[in-house]
Amino acid sequence: MEYVFILNPTAGRTDAGAQLVPRIGAAAAALGLTGQVRILRTEYAGHARELARQYAAAGTPVRLYACGGDGTFNEVLQAAVGQSHVALGCVPCGSGNDYVRNFGTADFLDIAAQLEAVPVPLDIMDTGYGASADICAAGLDAQVAWAIPRYRRIAGGSLSYTCAIVETLFRRIGHRLRITLDGPGGTVLENSYTILTVCNGQYYGGGYRAAPHARMDDGMLEVLLVRKLTRPQLVRILGDYKRGLHITPAGGVAPKFKPYLEIYRAKSVDIEVLDGRPLIVTLDGECTPCTDRLHIELRPRALNALLPRTVLAGGTPAVLSQSIAANHTAAVSAAGAAGEGN
């Protein structure tokens, strides 16, 4: 087994490598894994994907750790999807870190816990532009993601997202769209939408909780559509949207949002632009080229995601269904007894 840490030195406000590299070395030595651990630093955009594919192509068991933000994780994800011999972990040191928010972030920075993490099968979204683990957006939220890089170094996390929102509000927002859920014979929607998010996980935008009830292993996607809003209306609802208060505890639309919000569950989503203005699309916060059409389809349990044992040991993690969590609670105990990871 190889343990490969792919480190992006440009993620976040500072280069995390100065702290991470010695911590990785110390944890590997303590667990007797020094000869099996590799640390690689990316040198340009897309390099994390290339490095991950090299190790995945070898066909031997490997654990890949994306050390950076959600963009770095998404690059490495492309090599891990559908590969039974590859397991993917995340060491969050970027500006958003929304993927790990789905589980609680504390133990993802514990390198020893990462080296002993348990592989858990999670669903993935497939698109024509690559795979996405968390959220795919194609409305105002995608336009905001396009603007975020200009603010990351001066205002990380959700603050950079808020700055990007302010910039975006001065531009034309919303699209006329035809949306088909679950293919031919499924639900067809046609309207003008300001926000469109297709959610496998709960968070995006540095902590915006778009889908509080999303589960990453239940075989379903949460689709949120916010109909056309004026700028003052958008400003009034944004704070509650960030906190996930647009969805009730029972999973319905909160009263304040009923004039604007539609929510659906589906296994596939097709989006067609009707107003002649191409969409910007984001996969886990990373922007793709503009497009007139987009197909998103769920791939059940297509990723072996590495989760620290402590995330699983206390009961059901927030984003895992009861059946999967029960299976992996048992796996945690078995792995501990067998000394897995050593």
User: 3-class SS at 64?
Assistant: strand
Nearest one of 105, 146, 126 to 278, comparing CA atoms = 146
Comparing 289 with 185, which gets the higher pLDDT? 185
Nearest one of 165, 248, 242 to 209, comparing CA atoms = 242
The two tokens of residue 48 are 């994390």
Taking the C-alpha atoms of residue 90 and residue 308, their distance in angstroms, rounded to an integer, is 10
With the CA atoms of 152, 154, 160 and 163 taken in that order, what torsion angle do they form, in degrees rounded to the nearest 10?
-130
Residue 164: its pLDDT value, please?
67
Query: Average pLDDT over the chain, rounded to whole?
Result: 86
pLDDT over threshold 90, residue 167: no
Tell me what the mean pLDDT of segment 8-34 comes to: 88
Q: 245 burial class (0-12, 13-18, 19+ CB within 10 angstroms)?
A: middle
pLDDT over threshold 60, residue 293: yes
Comparing 244 with 151, which gets the higher pLDDT? 244
CB atoms within 10 A of CB 2: 15
Which pLDDT tens digit goes with each residue over 88-134? 999 998 877 899 998 876 689 999 999 999 999 999 999 989 999 99
Comparing 174 with 1, which gets the higher pLDDT? 1
Nearest one of 12, 7, 207 to 93, comparing CA atoms = 12
Residue 291: its pLDDT value, please?
84
pLDDT over threshold 80, residue 237: yes
pLDDT band at 238 (very low <50, low <70, confident <90, very high): confident
Residue 205: its pLDDT value, please?
81
Alpha-carbon distances of 207 from 45, 99, 122, rounded to whole Å: 24, 10, 21
Taking the C-alpha atoms of residue 316 and residue 306, their distance in angstroms, rounded to an integer, is 16
Residue 252: its pLDDT value, please?
95
pLDDT band at 18 (very low <50, low <70, confident <90, very high): confident
pLDDT band at 328 (very low <50, low <70, confident <90, very high): low
| Cβ contacts of 280 within 8 Å, gap of 6 or more | 138, 142, 143, 145, 146, 287, 288, 290
pLDDT over threshold 90, residue 229: no
Per the CB < 8 A criterion, the answer to whether 226 and 212 are in contact is no
Residue 207: its pLDDT value, please?
85
Enumerate domains of the chain plus CATH numbers.
Answer: 2-116 (3.40.50.10330), 131-299 (2.60.200.40)
**E strand or H helix that includes residue 327:** helix 322-338
The two tokens of residue 339 are 């000394």
- The three-point CA angle 16-19-25 to 5° equals 120
Tokens 């190790």 label which residue?
Answer: 55
Sign of CA dihedral 274, 148, 285, 291: positive
Alpha-carbon distances of 221 from 55, 69, 196, rounded to whole Å: 30, 23, 13
Residue 339: its pLDDT value, please?
46
pLDDT over threshold 80, residue 31: yes
Which pLDDT tens digit goes with each residue over 269-285? 999 999 998 888 889 97
Taking the C-alpha atoms of residue 230 and residue 194, their distance in angstroms, rounded to an integer, is 9
Taking the C-alpha atoms of residue 131 and residue 317, their distance in angstroms, rounded to an integer, is 23
pLDDT over threshold 90, residue 83: yes
The verdict on pTM exceeding 0.85 is: yes
Residue 340: its pLDDT value, please?
46
pLDDT band at 53 (very low <50, low <70, confident <90, very high): very high
Residues linked to residue 40 through DSSP beta bridges, in sequence order: 6
Residue 36: its pLDDT value, please?
97
Tell me what the mean pLDDT of segment 221-239 comes to: 89
Share of the chain above pLDDT 70, in %: 81
**DSSP percent split of the chain into helix, strand, coil, nearest 5:** 35, 35, 35
Q: 94 burial class (0-12, 13-18, 19+ CB within 10 angstroms)?
A: buried
Residue 149: its pLDDT value, please?
63
